[in-house]
């Protein structure tokens, strides 16, 4: 297990050094007593501190009443189309699958939270407790792969919500989907922050034999205390590193996603996370800065004020410096990395670290040559054979009589 040793003089509580350069802040400068008090205020195992009304409704559900129950409710969703197409120019995939809507991991920074508004629910506690399971996902995927004109290309699983969140133990939807990928020899990429992926190691190994699988493990911190309040129901950082090691040992290519990088919260860990991932077998890496679309601004600000009151304003100030004095700018090309001095500093650090730890920046290309095209049903074959047995002489009398008539 890798431990991070910090020099007391390495970080400062000031936002700028003597030369005016932006500096990182020491982790957890809030007293232990204050942290314990804040954790008692927060609901057990949940990150959101409110349940704001969604953008399509003025009604906000009772946060305290719902938090008192604090149970995850699994709802069933029947989907007509399981594969989502992506046209964003700054995202490296064209098709994706999310077996679940909502995520029990409860990461406070999750950019997918506002999607719960489409279910007339809040992006706050609702997103963490009201989870929709797409029970017919495997069935719809098999139907799509079976279309006569379908062409195989890598599909990414878990790009919005984690396919291996806790309810996967019960629902097994992700495993059913992977069985379809294996059945058709179709390439697939998985993004997760859960060691539960190892439960499907038998399928992943078979896919890896034909270069049909790639896994991206998301690690935001090596500090389990920070992880517990930032992504409360995700597995510990060490378990994720162990999962990388196991996957790599099984000849399954693994990348590390350092996402999101949060100024003055986890940015100081960039090099340590990349080194740990490399040691455990990761071969590629990428990072994304914190994104705060729509309701996530409020949710993250509330969380920041509770857990890091000493630096809340400083964190938001740096974020604004990367987005043209706004907390978030959704412009393609800059929303993922930001602009300005701080963004440039992060990019330079990342470039040096990936070079030092021999991490590539592009994920490996997966194979499509083994894709098994759909086979017509026997009924269709029988009909075709019956037609070919019919000779021109057999139909000539009818044709002639019709002309005579």
Buried b (16+ CB within 10 A) or exposed e, 296-334: bebbbbbbbebbbeebbebbbbbbebbbeeebbbeeeeb
Residues 6+ apart with CB under 8 A from 224: 236, 237, 238
Strand-strand pairing, 84-85 and 95-97: antiparallel
Two tokens, residue 300: 């993250």
pLDDT of 87 reads 82
pLDDT of 92 reads 76
Residues 6+ apart with CB under 8 A from 124: 48, 49, 50, 51, 52, 63, 113, 295, 299
Distance CA 264, CA 281 (A): 28
Between helix 201-208 and helix 237-249 the angle, nearest 10°, is 40
Q: Using an 8 Å Cβ cutoff, are 222 and 273 in contact?
A: yes
- Count of beta carbons in the 10 Å neighbourhood of residue 65: 9
Residues 96-106 pLDDT 10s: 999 999 999 99
Q: Report CA-CA distances (Å) from 355 to 148, 212, 215.
A: 45, 27, 21
When pLDDT is cut at 50, 70 and 90, the band that residue 61 belongs to is low
* Mean pLDDT of the 182-190 span: 97
Distance CA 378, CA 64 (A): 59
44, with CB counted inside 10 A (0-12, 13-18, 19+), is: exposed
Domains of the chain as residue ranges with CATH: 32-404 (3.80.30.30)
Residue 142 predicted with pLDDT over 90: yes
> Of 29-38, 80-89, 161-170, which gets the smallest average pLDDT?
29-38
* Mean pLDDT of the 193-213 span: 98
pLDDT of 373 reads 77
Query: Sheet containing 130-134: which strands, arranged edge to edge?
Result: 73-77, 130-134, 100-101
Residue 248 predicted with pLDDT over 70: yes
Q: Using an 8 Å Cβ cutoff, are 227 and 266 in contact?
A: no
Residues 256-314 pLDDT 10s: 999 999 999 999 999 999 999 999 999 999 999 999 999 999 999 999 999 999 999 99
pTM of the shown model: 0.82
Distance CA 260, CA 47 (A): 16
CA 116 to mean position of chain CA atoms: 15
């Amino acid at each position: 297990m890798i431990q991070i040793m910090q020099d007391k003089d390495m970080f400062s509580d000031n936002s700028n050094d003597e030369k005016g350069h932006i500096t990182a802040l020491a982790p957890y400068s809030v007293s232990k007593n204050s942290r314990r008090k804040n954790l008692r205020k927060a609901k057990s195992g949940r990150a959101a501190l409110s349940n704001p009304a969604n953008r399509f409704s003025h009604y906000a559900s009772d946060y305290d009443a719902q938090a008192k129950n604090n149970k995850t409710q699994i709802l069933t969703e029947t989907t007509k189309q399981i594969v989502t197409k992506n046209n964003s120019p700054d995202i490296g995939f064209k098709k994706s699958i999310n077996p679940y809507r909502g995520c029990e991991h409860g990461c406070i920074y999750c950019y997918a939270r506002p999607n719960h508004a489409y279910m007339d629910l809040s992006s706050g506690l609702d997103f963490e407790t009201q989870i929709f399971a797409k029970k017919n996902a495997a069935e719809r995927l098999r139907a799509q792969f079976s279309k006569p004109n379908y062409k195989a290309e890598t599909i990414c699983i878990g790009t919005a919500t984690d396919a291996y969140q806790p309810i996967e133990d019960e629902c097994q939807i992700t495993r059913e989907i992977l069985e379809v990928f294996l059945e058709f020899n179709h390439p697939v990429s998985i993004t997760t922050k859960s060691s539960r992926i190892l439960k499907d190691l038998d399928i992943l190994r078979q896919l890896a034999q034909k270069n049909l699988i790639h896994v991206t493990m998301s690690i935001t911190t090596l500090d389990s205390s920070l992880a517990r309040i930032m992504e409360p129901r995700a597995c510990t950082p060490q378990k994720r590193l162990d999962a990388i090691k196991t996957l790599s040992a099984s000849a399954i290519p693994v990348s590390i996603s350092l996402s999101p990088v949060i100024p003055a919260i986890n940015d100081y860990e960039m090099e340590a996370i990349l080194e740990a991932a490399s040691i455990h077998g990761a071969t590629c890496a990428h990072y994304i800065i914190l994104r705060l679309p729509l309701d996530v601004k409020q949710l993250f600000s509330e969380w920041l004020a509770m857990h890091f009151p000493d630096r809340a304003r400083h964190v938001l100030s740096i974020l604004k410096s990367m987005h043209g004095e706004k907390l978030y700018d959704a412009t393609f090309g800059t929303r993922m990395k930001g602009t300005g001095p701080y963004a440039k500093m992060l990019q330079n650090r990342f470039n040096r670290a990936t070079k030092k730890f021999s991490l590539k920046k592009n994920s490996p290309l997966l194979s499509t040559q083994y894709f098994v095209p759909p086979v017509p049903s026997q009924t269709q074959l029988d009909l075709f054979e019956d037609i070919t047995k019919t000779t021109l002489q057999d139909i000539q009398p009818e044709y002639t009589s019709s002309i005579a008539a």
